[in-house]
Amino acid sequence: MTSRRRFLAAAGAATSALTLFPWLERRATAAALPPRLLLYYTPHGTVWDQFRCSGGETAFKLSPILASLEKHRERVVIVDGMKMDNGTDYYIPHTYTMPVLWTGSPIDTASTTFCRDDHMQCFGWGTGTSVDQTIAERLAPTTPYPTIELGYQCGNLHPAKRMIYSSPGNTKNPLDDPAAAFKQLFGGDVDLGEAAAARAELRRKSVLDTALADFGSHRAKLGAADQARLDTHADSIRSLEKSLMGTSSVCTQPTAPTDITAETAIDRQSELIAGIFGCGLTRIASFQLRIADNDNSLYPWVGLDEGGHHTLSHENDDATFATLAKLYTWYTARFVYLLDRLAATPDVDGTSVLDNTLVIWGSELGTGWTHSLDNVPFILAGGASGRLRGGRYLEVTNTLTNRVLVTALEAMGITDVEKYGTTDTGSGGLSGVLT
């Protein structure tokens, strides 16, 4: 039996890989490589005492938490002093700002879909669209996926556990298990003969088209909101159908991840992200580590083996801060590993994927201990196709996190947006970050 991989190779003899995968052709012939965007999230802010760097904008000395960034020093901008506006009168820490992080718009407090008994407040989903989705909508990318969402242990459907919004009230679920993510993104039909592959294609298309047609045959009278939910579901099946067409085999695709534990899973996802960008599956992706309310995971390998991340942040003794700092130092090491993988993945013009990517690392608040939004840590990294002015520690004041979102738009070539999100009272991108 001919494997699918070999079938593609054989087909390539007559028709080039570029004919089979036209998006590669566009990439190969484009004059300047368009940048990619990766939004990266870790929960509960940081411990600022041990995150803050000293020494000035360019001569800064990396803090204990950030020390391992040294080798990518020239490709990072660390921002100190960004404020987040939760945009609502009442503030349920973590939950109310997870939707704000990438949308710049508040959570819906008129909805009663979710209730927090302890705060006696009800709320719904976020009221904005996250910046990655807006960019995808504007650029209408021809990649197999407009955007890809990855994560690790992101939990069930809840506003504190989702950060990517395709439209107000509509979140995207991250693929938060490395094995499942690999299967969906790189595990197309393999080891099928040509005839069997054709039959599988017919089956897939016929089965999905039959199910899709049923969306017209429900009998219940539905309100507008319910009808919209059904429409979205049908759209999801259509994009699933498209994405199931084989996408692999013409680039160095990652191998199926093994060794997936709580300690290694983030790195496995980082390897997939490098593969996703390297193989051109999308230009816009995100990664969400766990949840905003509340991440009570244990991280015994850094000494956090009791209580959990969030519970610990309710204590303010030095020992606790030391443990949390170790955790955030470990987060930095994971971020560095991601940058390493992107740097090690060749891009079609001979540079690296990292050179042509803007990675933005943020959190849902500044400090878990006080739930403060007065200083939310952000790090921008990568080359952004030569546009990021790296090697700098930026101290800012009176600057809303919305500025980062506008910076993302600018980096991706969208320059006609001055404000992003309904909480935005400023304008433009972060000053001096892009050339």
Which residues 211-240 are close enough to bind another protein by CB under 8 A? 211, 213-226, 228-230, 232-234, 236-237, 239-240
Instruction: Decide: is 387 part of the binding site for another protein (CB under 8 A).
Output: no
- Angle (CA) 68 73 75, round 5°: 125
Helix axes 131-139, 402-411, angle to 10 degrees: 30
As measured in angstroms, the least distance from the Cβ of 75 to another protein is 31
Q: How far is the CB of 74 from another protein (least distance, A)?
A: 33
Cα–Cα dist 267/258, whole Å: 11
Residue from 129, 166, 332, 385 touching another protein (CB under 8 A): that is 166
Task: Please give the biggest Cα pair distance in the chain.
Answer: 69
- Site membership for another protein, residue 298 (CB under 8 A): yes
CB closer to another protein out of 319 and 344: 319
Rounded Cα gap, residues 232 and 216, in angstroms: 13
Among 46, 63, 86, 270, binds another protein (CB under 8 A): 86
Nearer to another protein, 228 or 348 (CB): 228
Cα 231–Cα 236–Cα 242 angle in degrees, nearest 5: 130
Whose Cβ is closer to another protein: residue 89's or residue 416's?
89
CB of 394 to another protein, least distance (A): 20
Binding segment (CB under 8 A) for another protein, from list 37-45, 55-63, 166-174, 279-287? 166-174
Minimum gap (Å) between residue 152 Cβ and another protein: 11
Q: What's the rounded Cα separation, in Å, for the pair 159 and 96?
A: 8
CB 179 → another protein: shortest distance, Å?
Answer: 11
Query: What residues from 114 to 133 belong to the interface with another protein (CB under 8 A)?
Result: 114-115, 117-125
User: Is residue 147 within 8 Å of 122, Cβ to Cβ?
Assistant: no
Q: Which residues pair with 121 in a beta bridge?
A: 116
Which residues sit opposite 118 in a β-bridge? none
Within 178-217, which residues bind another protein (CB under 8 A)?
A: 180, 184, 199, 202-203, 206-208, 210-211, 213-217
* Residue of the chain from 191, 315, 344, 427 that contacts another protein (CB under 8 A): 315
Interaction between residue 256 and another protein (CB under 8 A): no
Q: CB of 152 within 8 A of CB of 290?
A: yes
Residue among 255 and 316 whose Cβ is closer to another protein: 316
User: 135: buried, middle or exposed (CB in 10 Å: 19+, 13-18, 0-12)?
Assistant: buried
- Spatial CA neighbour of 185 closest among 235, 233, 145: 145
Would the CA dihedral through 314, 269, 239, 411 be positive or negative? positive
Q: Count CB atoms within 10 A of the CB of residue 234.
A: 15
In the bound state with another protein, the residue whose beta carbon lies nearer, of 295 and 347, is 295
> Contacts with another protein in 88-107 (CB under 8 A)?
88-91
Question: Which tokens belong to 233?
Answer: 């579901």
Nearer to another protein, 149 or 410 (CB): 149
DSSP type of residue 70: G
Give least dist CB 183 to another protein, A: 8
Residues ≥6 apart with Cβ < 8 Å to 371: 91, 93, 94, 365
Kindly state whether residue 245 participates in binding another protein, applying the rule CB under 8 A: no
- 113: contact with another protein by CB under 8 A: yes
- Using CB under 8 A, which of 44, 65, 85, 266 touches another protein? 85
Closest CB to another protein among residues 16, 316: 316
When the beta carbons of 31 and 242 are compared against another protein, the nearer one is 242
DSSP state of 254: P
Residue with tokens 């993510």: 181
With respect to another protein, which residue has the nearer C-beta, 6 or 205? 205
- Would you say 174 and 164 are in contact if contact means Cβ atoms under 8 Å apart? yes
